[in-house]
Structure 1
Amino acid sequence: MLAILIFAHGSRDPLWRAPVEAVAAAVRAQAPEAHVACAYLELCQPELPEAAASAIEAGASEVRVLPLFFGMGKHAREDLPLLMEQLRQAHPAVSFKLLPTAGEQPRLTALLAELALEAE
């Protein structure tokens, strides 16, 4: 089974999670056979290791992680690859794939440009 983890930084503000959860809901609607969940780096639960473990317990043999970061800052460049390596070591029978960050997606950049140029 495929698992898709929507990964974001996290915040103490509970309203901050709404867009992240909306992305997960949209993925679930398009891939109802996949295990889809949110995961956070800090300040929210579950963190990535717990979300991955839950997906694996549900039967996932492939886990894709979509980082919802716009820039390639320290979290995306250093922290996340380290977390992914820890997951690979903890679950060697599972295939883990780190997808490009949201900000690296040309389609998202184009969509944001369209939104900026739309008339009210």
Structure 2
Amino acid sequence: MHGPTSRPTLLVVAHGSRDPRHAATVSALRARVRGLRPGLRVEVGHLDFNAPRVPRVLERLSAEGARDVVALPLLLTRAFHAKSDIPAVLREASARLPRLTIRQAEVLGPSRLLTRALERRLAGAGLRPGDRRSTGVVLASAGSSDPEAIAVIADIAWEWRRTAGWCAVRPAFASASLPRTADAVRALRAEGVQQVAVAPYVIAPGFLPDRIAAGAREAGADILAPALGDAPELARLLLHRYDQALATATGAPAALPALTA
């Protein structure tokens, strides 16, 4: 049981999936976050498909005497779930659990830590350090009907090319928006790019990440990275967003985590 002077609990809010790989990935990421900060209580709640659901976790925390929770969306862009679904769930829980203070942290992206994690995954998939100038990257996200989220992916692609030295970085989407992964791969080929790599901008395997992978294979991409998963950069980013949420509440600045991998 955590008393009122304890650090606020970190509640990672995952979307949930029928694919068991999703829950396994979230569990592995939670374990890595706990390893980075052993004194912090880290819980996971799901919006759909998986148990425990977010309201049930908050009820349990309140019953155990917790007084403060930082709810952190396990999302890479600020789209519908971050703007609507999660706030609605948290408001309803706050009304039922008046002794529990619940703060919603910012979504994970954009962040330099995420592009570092993408680079880690690409290297693990076979990209050599000296290949950047001859490699075009497809930054493949799940997709969204939210124009803000789509614009953020385009901005990340532009900035990643500028700072990392790729010959090109093109956004692509598994749903809701165009181009699809296969079309982006083909476009880079048509422009004469020597090597094409697909970097899925997704956290866990599932239906849409599988669609990204299928598009990469269909169009003959040279390198296909796996999902971000429990990359150490992602775990550090979760803790940074947690610290930011607390700093916002107190007016203190939150220090950026070290970028060494």
TM-score range, shorter chain: 0.7 to 0.9
Check conservation: 2:62, 2:99, Cα contact below 8 A.
no
Q: Return the offset for 1:87.
A: 1.7
Check conservation: 1:35, 1:55, Cα contact below 8 A.
no
Render the CA deviation track for 1:62-100: whole Å, top value 9, x for unaligned: 111111111222111111111111122111221111111
Q: TM-score, normalised by structure 1?
A: 0.83
Alignment RMSD (CA, Å): 2.0
Q: How does 1:9-28 map to 2 (within 5 A)?
A: 9-28=15-34
Show structure 2 runs of 5+ residues with no match: 1-5, 129-261
Larger C-alpha radius of gyration, 1 or 2? Answer: 2
Aligned-partner Cα distance in 2 for 1:73–1:41: 15
Amino acid at match of 1:87: A
2:52 to 43, 46, 60: 46
Q: TM-score, normalised by structure 2?
A: 0.41
Show structure 1 runs of 5+ residues with no match: none
Aligned-partner Cα distance in 1 for 2:20–2:86: 23
Check conservation: 2:45, 2:52, Cα contact below 8 A.
yes
CA 1:27–1:113: 2 relative to 1, 3 Å: closer
Amino acid at match of 1:115: R
Q: Return the offset for 1:116.
A: 6.1
> Identity of counterpart residues, as a percentage?
29
Q: How many pairs are equivalent?
A: 119
Render the CA deviation track for 1:41-63: whole Å, top value 9, x for unaligned: 10101111001111222221111
Render the CA deviation track for 1:3-40: whole Å, top value 9, x for unaligned: 21111110112121122112211232234343321111
Check conservation: 1:41, 1:47, Cα contact below 8 A.
yes
Q: Return the offset for 1:117.
A: 6.5
Aligned-partner Cα distance in 2 for 1:33–1:112: 25
- Where relative contact order (Cα < 8 A, 6+ residues apart) is larger, the structure is 1
